[in-house]
């Protein structure tokens, strides 16, 4: 049983629902329909070496968890899994009576402070990362080693490219020799027909050394900013990988509202922080969001990025206080959870 089609034909699904933005009440005309579900692996497969813990489609818009994995994630207070225990009735597509045995009270605990808040802060990092990418785009034409080389010849240092142009020198007629005890510093020699190798070979990530006669005198000192070049290469790759993979419609929306951050990630940051606060105060998970207008305002770019980050910091401090005084379980009771898992599985296999 490896595909969703196999799973649906097996009769092993005990729960199936619409999740994500449509369950939160935050969907728009372009929102995908996310499906989540729980299944119990047939007895023969469960006891074999062919245990399957999860079945999903290529995009992860549709995901089904085997009972053991589902219960394990619940025990860790995983936000995306806990909310499946309280999705709105209009989002439930299938529910076996066995699924009703899985009570929120068995799992909701103070672990939620970290599981929800930490996940929320990964969304802030994503939003901040996009903020940097939008504000500081990296040119498609890739810089080379030469752009990170600097020269000093008895006056303040200047870029190598500027030095070569100013003195009408050709890079291919240059030769470099390491200077002992001076990291990334080289004596720069020049001469046509002397067999010098130039400063860099095509597509190389380091400077090129040459053999130089002992009586030759350097024309200048060259410094190669290795760390700067390495950092640039990393950022260049990250940026253009992101460009290749980004959702263009979502990106254009983020640019259009002019706030220069990923509004969808920031919206989910506050959804998670507010849910964590509600859990501490009320002992329940509100999946259909009562703060819908505020959250959609974030998604539409109504708020400034720095103001939202400041609000998130305040919320995080509130959570520390609320969870310290909360009457929630410290963490789920492993023995109780194990008994629940065994009971549900045995009853299913007796059918």
What are the pLDDT digits (tens) for 54-103?
999 998 999 999 999 999 999 999 999 999 999 999 999 999 999 999 99
d(CA 177, CA 180): 9
Across 17-26, b (16+ Cβ under 10 Å) vs e yields bbbbbbbbeb
Quote the pLDDT of residue 174: 97
Quote the pLDDT of residue 324: 94
Quote the pLDDT of residue 132: 62
d(CA 298, CA 292): 10
Please compute the mean of the pLDDT values over residues 303-316 and round it to a whole number. 88
d(CA 309, CA 144): 36
Quote the pLDDT of residue 262: 78
Any idea which of 132-146, 210-224, 313-327 has the lowest mean pLDDT? Answer: 132-146
User: 1-102+332-351 — its CATH code?
Assistant: 3.30.460
Average pLDDT, the chain: 91
Please compute the mean of the pLDDT values over residues 174-183 and round it to a whole number. 96
Cβ(222)–Cβ(160) below 8 Å = yes
The gap from C-alpha 42 to its chain's centroid, in whole angstroms, comes to 35
Please compute the mean of the pLDDT values over residues 204-223 and round it to a whole number. 94
Quote the pLDDT of residue 156: 87
Work out the pLDDT band at 117, boundaries 50, 70, 90: confident
- Higher per-residue pLDDT: 305 or 83: 83
d(CA 26, CA 264): 10
Of 311, 319, 273, residue with least CA distance to 120: 273
The gap from C-alpha 242 to its chain's centroid, in whole angstroms, comes to 11
Quote the pLDDT of residue 28: 85
Work out the pLDDT band at 44, boundaries 50, 70, 90: very high
- Higher per-residue pLDDT: 305 or 223: 223
Quote the pLDDT of residue 128: 61
Q: Look at residue 43 and tell me whether its pLDDT is greater than 60.
A: yes
- Higher per-residue pLDDT: 182 or 263: 182
Work out the pLDDT band at 256, boundaries 50, 70, 90: low
| Three-point CA angle 19, 329, 75, nearest 5° | 45
Q: Look at residue 135 and tell me whether its pLDDT is greater than 90.
A: no
Q: Look at residue 127 and tell me whether its pLDDT is greater than 90.
A: no
% of the chain at pLDDT higher than 90: 74
Pair of tokens at residue 230: 């390495």
Quote the pLDDT of residue 20: 95
Cβ(108)–Cβ(76) below 8 Å = no
Q: Look at residue 154 and tell me whether its pLDDT is greater than 60.
A: yes
Q: Where are the domains of the chain?
A: 1-102+332-351, 145-229
Quote the pLDDT of residue 2: 83
Work out the pLDDT band at 309, boundaries 50, 70, 90: confident
């Amino acid at each position: 049983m490896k595909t969703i089609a196999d799973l649906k034909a097996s009769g092993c699904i005990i729960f199936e629902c619409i999740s994500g933005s449509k369950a939160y009440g935050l969907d728009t005309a372009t929102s995908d329909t996310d499906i989540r579900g729980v299944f119990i692996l047939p007895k023969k497969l469960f006891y074999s070496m062919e245990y399957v813990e999860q079945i999903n489609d290529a995009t992860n818009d549709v995901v089904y968890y085997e009972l053991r994995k589902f219960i394990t994630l619940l025990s860790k207070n995983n936000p995306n899994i806990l909310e499946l225990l309280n999705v709105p009735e209009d989002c439930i597509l299938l529910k076996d009576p066995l699924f009703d045995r899985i009570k929120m009270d068995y799992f909701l605990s103070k672990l939620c402070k970290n599981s929800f808040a930490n996940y929320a802060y990964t969304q802030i990092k994503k939003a901040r990362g996009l903020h940097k990418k939008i504000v500081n785009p990296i040119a498609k034409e890739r810089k080379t080693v030469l752009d990170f080389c600097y020269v000093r010849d008895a006056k303040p240092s200047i870029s190598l490219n500027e030095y070569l142009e100013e003195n009408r020198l050709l890079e291919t007629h240059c030769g470099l020799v390491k200077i002992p005890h001076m990291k990334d510093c080289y004596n720069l020699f020049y001469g046509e027909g002397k067999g010098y190798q130039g400063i860099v070979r095509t597509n190389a990530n380091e400077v090129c050394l040459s053999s130089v006669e002992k009586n030759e005198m350097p024309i200048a000192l060259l410094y190669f900013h290795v760390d700067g070049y390495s950092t640039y290469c990393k950022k260049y790759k990250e940026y253009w990988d992101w460009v290749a993979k980004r959702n263009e419609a979502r990106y254009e929306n983020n640019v259009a509202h002019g706030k220069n951050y990923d509004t969808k990630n920031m919206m989910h940051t506050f959804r998670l922080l507010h849910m964590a606060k509600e859990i501490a105060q009320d002992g329940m998970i509100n999946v259909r969001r009562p703060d819908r207008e505020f959250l959609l305002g974030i998604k539409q770019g109504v708020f400034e990025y720095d103001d939202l980050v400041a609000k998130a910091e305040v919320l995080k401090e509130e959570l520390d206080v609320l969870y310290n005084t909360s009457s929630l379980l410290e963490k789920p009771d492993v023995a109780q959870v194990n008994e629940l898992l065994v009971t549900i599985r045995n009853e299913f296999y007796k059918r």
